[in-house]
Chains A and B, each alone.
Chain A
Amino acid sequence: MDAQAKLYEIPKARAIRRRHRRLPAWTVSWLQILPLTAILSLMFALPTALFLAVSFFDYDRTGIYPAFLLDNYREVFTSSSTLRVYGSTLKFTLVVWAITLFLGFNIAHFLIFHVRNGKVRIVLFLLCAIPFFTSAIIRTIAWIPFLGRSGAFNQALMGLHLTTHPLDFLLFSDFSVVVAYVHLYTPLMIGPIANSLSKIDRSLIEAARDAGASRWQTMANVIIPLSKTGIALGSILVMTQVMGDYFIVRQMSGGQSASIVSALSTEIQAMQYPPAAANAMVLVVIVAVMVGCLMRVVDIRKELVK
């Protein structure tokens, strides 16, 4: 009985000595978020402010000089190549967005609503997601031996006697650029949309059926409205990736097309920092506007945090 009593004895001495003050809850949160805030401020916020400043600087062949000039911006807005490059990039962005949305939604729908076995669903989902975590460079150039004139696809087509001449437009064209983008970025649509779809209460769909909704009516009236957030999130991810790309478009178009960022990188390599910075700021503003519009559809913070 004695040993047992000891087990349940409240350690009195400790209770008196330990008079530590408990930190208020929000201080704990601040401390926990401090490293993240510090690094992102230092490595993201400050540098952005920096090239905002530099965008107003003056420059010549030898160097750059602090100033407050709007010349760089004027150049950006009046240059015809700017318009061309923006037009091209925006065109790709829209086309890729549409295709990845179609593919992403249907695949997510298949995985969430048509696959009945939970384990199979996870396996299939992983199959879709894993390529995203391998090298994008390799996955892009993998298309070259596939789509080229003497590439695997053309050889297959000719072998099956579907064409006599190899198809030219497959590689180093707008087509190949879009193909590469879709190949790389569809997982970014599948993830958020699948997440949204899985949160839809099944009984809502049954209730719609019960009220007489056909398959398409259920889709239009119940499923799509309730997956808006996933669609918006996926769209943000895909669009910003395409708008910020400089490698894929150059590779897959054979140097014919340029993107906003690839034009920028040329200026950076030539050490023309102020105009590059101005270009960069314009891009940042455009991307911010796009993301801002999409965020009206979904309150991202509410969605992600809780």
Chain B
Amino acid sequence: MDARYDVELVSVTKQYGATLAVDAISLRVPKAGYCCLLGPSGCGKTSTLRMIAGHEGITEGDLLIDGRNVTDLPPWARGTAMMFQNYALFPHLSCLDNVAFGPKMRRVKRAERHRRAREFLDLVQMGDYAKRLPNELSGGQQQRIALARALIMRPRVLLLDEPLSALDPFLRVRMREELKRLQRELKITFIHVTHAQDEAMAMADLMVVMDGGKICQTGSPYEVFERPVSAFVARFIGGHNVVPWRNKLIAVRTDQCVLEPPGAVPGVRGWVSNVEYQGPTVRVGLTTKDGLEVAAVLRDDVFKQRPLSTGDEVTLSWPEASAHHLAA
């Protein structure tokens, strides 16, 4: 019962019939932190989020929120609020009534709950849209209403289910900033599920990488990126080469690799399979004779000094200090 943490999962398992979606995971999320659950499709991150919310029952294990064991409690008794992936705005209610829904269920009087709802509409900069219906709004606008609707319940923990996947790239970046800002202002914990590692790295204080129903690694984005614990994490987080080297498995950041003429230095020999121009950098993909695929991300002026094309033979090399041993 540690009140240092807003959310604690103790050996939580979720079983659907014969399928084990979440396998005895334990996690501690510090107070007022931004936590991202990251992983590929089917890894159990959404199941975990829904168990924290109370929309799925926990098969085994315990869930503590702010020190209280809430494992068997229904959603509204937990101090959590959820923002759904498809927003789930009530189509037959105006934006104002959507946001005022929670207080209405608590039997708050009309004048009072409308006042509170307007407050939260202003918080998400949607004050002018109070009378509109959800289907008259764009995706980004609907999301803000969904956010306001969740926040008006003053939850301790806000749960977000892939909030940015439906948005276009520019809107996505803007919403990232807004969500971070809100979290800082409100000083509550956000738990955010995503499959996009750039999103998780940009937003998280605590990053949780999941796969196959288990947690692979937890840590700050810096820790996970610098010191991935396994080949899976290294590959999933991106920007790494996973290479068998001297009887061990190592991970090296692609932007710390260099390309030398074949055989000039110790490294991995291969043929260029593609060259991708990325603006400030160029990503050169290689295939080795064993079929291993690696890449190097070079600064564009460095690449211009020695331009490469498909089929060229090169050696991929890196500074000793950049190599990071992987457990598995």
Contacts and interface: CB of A to CB of B under 8 A. Distances in A.
B91 A210 contact: no
Contact of A210 (B75, B92, B104): B75
Contacts of B88: 201, 203-204, 206-207
Interface in B69-125: 74-76, 80-82, 84-86, 88-92, 101-102, 104-106
Contacts of B80: 210
A212 B90 contact: no
B92 A214 contact: no
B102 A212 contact: yes
Interface string A266-302: 0000000000000000000000000000000000000
A11 interface: no
Contacts of A203: 84-86, 88
Contact of A212 (B85, B86, B89, B106): B106
Contact of A211 (B85, B86, B92, B149): B149
A226 B93 CA distance: 10
A213 interface: yes
A204 B75 CA distance: 14
Interface stretch (A47-55, A71-79, A217-225): A217-225
Nearest to A205: B88
A208 interface: yes
B160 interface: no
A280 to B, nearest CB: 39
Contacts of A206: 55, 82, 84, 88
**Which size bracket describes the interface of B in this complex?**
20 to 34
B133 interface: no
B55 A226 contact: no
B35 to A, nearest CB: 19
A126 B90 CA distance: 31
A217 B55 contact: no
Interface string B108-149: 000000000000000000000000000000000000000001
A210 B106 CA distance: 12
B53 interface: yes
A217 B81 contact: no
Interface in A84-130: none
Interface string A176-219: 00000000000000000000000001011011111111100100
Report whether over half of chain A's contact residues are helix, strand or loop; otherwise say mixed.
helix
B36 to A, nearest CB: 21
Interface string B215-243: 00000000000000000000000000000
B104 A221 contact: yes
Contacts of A222: 90
B25 interface: no
B153 interface: yes
A209 B73 CA distance: 12
A225 B84 CA distance: 21
A212 B153 contact: yes
Contacts of B74: 209
Contacts of A204: 88, 90-91
Nearest to B104: A221
Nearest to B159: A210
Contact of B76 (A201, A211, A221, A225): A211
B91 A211 contact: no
Contacts of B86: 201, 203
Contact of A209 (B55, B90, B91): B55
Contacts of A226: 91-92
Contacts of A208: 90, 101, 105
Contacts of B85: 203
Given A206-B55, A225-B92, A226-B92, A211 B84 contact: no
B105 A213 contact: yes
Interface of B: 53, 55, 74-76, 80-82, 84-86, 88-92, 101-102, 104-106, 149-150, 153
23 contacts: A201-B88, A203-B84, A203-B85, A203-B88, A204-B91, A206-B55, A206-B88, A209-B75, A210-B76, A210-B81, A211-B102, A211-B105, A212-B76, A212-B102, A212-B105, A212-B106, A213-B76, A213-B101, A214-B105, A217-B105, A221-B104, A225-B92, A226-B91
Given A207-B89, A209-B76, 9 more contacts: A203-B86, A203-B88, A204-B88, A206-B82, A206-B88, A210-B53, A211-B149, A221-B101, A222-B90
Interface of A: 201, 203-204, 206-214, 217, 221-222, 225-226
Which 10 residue pairs spanning A and B have beta carbons closest together? A212-B76, A211-B102, A203-B88, A207-B88, A212-B105, A213-B105, A225-B92, A210-B82, A203-B84, A210-B75
